[in-house]
């Protein structure tokens, strides 16, 4: 790997925002180490490496980290983006405990496990960005962007609120330890993806554009962002 090039990790690059982010970083000259559940994607680039990752499996996460370390050799990560996520049936209104467990495994536990194991391989001026959601904003519960009531898809909402708290606690810890890594949550917007649906007004490339700008900058750590502006927790 060329040590003069910057490197980003992006989880879930097989489709949607993750794919658009990977392509944006590649177009900007980054080496991208992307993950997918199958270990394959439908696009190629000389600077793209794909690693298999199942965020519900501790063994898969451990192997993914080992695979990334092998790719990096003596290099470090500049930007780590937690993009992969899960959403149960959006018409669900009752909290189904098994769905909550399954959603937390992907959106919180697996994401945090991977991030914690990757921190030693992130540059001291690096940036950890986690894709959260307006749905995880407790302060914005009365102004949700979509047509659903606040009680729809509760497991997803709970998982993203928890992910936001992980951002806050991790940012505080890394700041206390003085290692210089910025930690951010982002609300990508309502995006036209398999998760967002065809009615969404924003294309993945638009969301990827502003997330890229935030990721390469050094904003105030431990904050929640939407299009470069702070978003309510």
CATH number at 26 reads: 3.40.50.720
Residue 37 lies in a domain: yes
**pTM of the predicted structure, to 2 decimals:** 0.93
Residue 2 lies in a domain: no
Residue 92 lies in a domain: yes
Reading the chain (233 residues) residue by residue, the pLDDT tens digits are: 665 799 999 999 999 999 999 999 999 999 999 999 999 999 999 999 999 999 999 999 999 999 999 999 989 999 999 999 998 776 788 999 999 999 999 999 999 999 999 999 999 999 999 999 999 999 877 665 554 566 788 999 999 999 999 999 999 999 999 889 999 999 998 766 666 666 766 788 999 999 999 999 999 999 999 999 999 99
Per-residue buried b or exposed e for 202-229, using 16+ beta carbons within 10 Å of the residue's own CB: bebebbbebbbebbeeeeebbbbbbbee
Tell me what percent of the chain is helix, strand and coil, each rounded to the nearest 5: 40, 20, 40
Residue 104 lies in a domain: yes
Residue 233 lies in a domain: no
Question: How many domains in the chain?
Answer: 1
| Parent domain of 70 | 7-228
Residue 207 lies in a domain: yes
């Amino acid at each position: 790997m060329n040590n003069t090039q910057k490197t980003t990790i992006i989880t879930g690059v097989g489709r949607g925002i993750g794919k658009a982010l990977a392509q944006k970083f590649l177009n900007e000259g980054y080496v991208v180490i992307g993950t997918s559940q199958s270990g394959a994607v439908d696009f190629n680039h000389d600077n793209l490496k794909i690693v298999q990752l199942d965020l519900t499996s501790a063994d898969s996460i451990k192997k993914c980290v080992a695979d990334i370390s092998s790719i990096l050799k003596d290099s470090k990560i500049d930007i780590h983006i937690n993009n992969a996520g899960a959403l149960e049936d959006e018409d669900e209104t009752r909290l189904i405990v098994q769905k909550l467990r399954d959603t937390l495994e992907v959106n919180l536990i697996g994401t945090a496990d991977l991030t914690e194991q990757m921190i030693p391989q992130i540059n001291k001026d690096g940036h950890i960005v986690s894709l959260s959601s307006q749905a995880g904003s407790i302060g914005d519960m009365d102004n949700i962007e979509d047509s659903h009531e606040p009680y729809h898809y509760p497991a997803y909402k709970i998982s993203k609120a928890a992910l936001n708290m992980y951002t806050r606690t991790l940012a505080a810890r890394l700041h206390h330890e003085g290692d210089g890594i910025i930690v951010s949550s982002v609300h990508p917007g309502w995006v036209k993806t398999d998760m967002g649906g065809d009615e969404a007004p924003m294309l993945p490339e638009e969301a990827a554009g502003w997330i890229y700008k935030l990721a390469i900058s050094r904003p105030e750590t431990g904050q929640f962002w939407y299009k470069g502006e702070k978003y309510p927790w």
